[in-house]
């Protein structure tokens, strides 16, 4: 059975989509083939790398990728993670299941370093819970 191809999409392909890709690779095992991309790639966020490492997931290898038409054709499911991405994302082919998770952008958090990291951790944990719920809802391959 072919693995489900999941594309996490966020405007910058930095914090949220990269954390989602990291969690999905960690939690889904061989059930999903996972990628992430952005409409305006921004790079890897050091705080996202830090809070994911605290949870035992390494995303330091990641680099921001731009969304291209091949990725849209590749995906079975696109999950948008930006507050406003639903309206700003490109049209997707009809065969693709599209989900939207309105996850806050931790980059805009302010305060002390510990307060900002607390926001990153909250976003990290929300994304993990959403991926776990999606995996639980999917039928498992009996083979």
Q: What are the residue boundaries of the structural domains of the chain, listed by start?
A: 4-137
Q: Which pTM value belongs to this model?
A: 0.89
**pLDDT of 16-55, one tens digit each?**
999 999 999 999 999 999 999 988 888 889 999 999 999 9
Catalytic residues: 10, 82, 89
Specify the DSSP element, H or E, that contains 78: strand 77-80
Q: What is the CATH number of domain 4-137?
A: 3.40.50.2300
**Residue count of the chain:** 143
Each residue's pLDDT tens digit, 32-41: 999 999 888 8
Tokens linked to 49:
């790398």
Angle between helices 113-137 and 15-28 (to 10 degrees): 50
User: What letter would DSSP give residue 54?
Assistant: H
What is the Cα–Cα distance from 131 to 28, expressed in whole angstroms?
A: 8
Cβ–Cβ under 8 Å, residues 15 and 44:
no
């Amino acid at each position: 059975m072919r693995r489900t191809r999941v594309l996490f999409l966020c405007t910058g392909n930095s914090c949220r989509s990269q954390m989602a890709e990291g969690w999905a690779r960690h939690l889904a095992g061989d059930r999903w083939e996972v990628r992430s991309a952005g409409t305006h790639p921004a790079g890897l966020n050091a705080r996202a790398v830090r809070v994911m490492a605290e949870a035992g997931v390494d995303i330091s290898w990641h680099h921001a990728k731009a969304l291209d038409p091949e990725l849209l054709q590749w995906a079975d499911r696109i999950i948008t993670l930006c507050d406003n991405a639903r309206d700003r994302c490109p049209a997707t082919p009809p065969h693709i299941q599209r989900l939207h998770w309105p996850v806050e952008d931790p980059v805009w958090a302010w305060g002390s370093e510990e307060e900002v990291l607390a926001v990153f951790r909250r976003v990290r944990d929300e994304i993990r819970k959403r991926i776990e719920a999606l995996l639980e809802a999917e039928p498992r391959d009996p083979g």
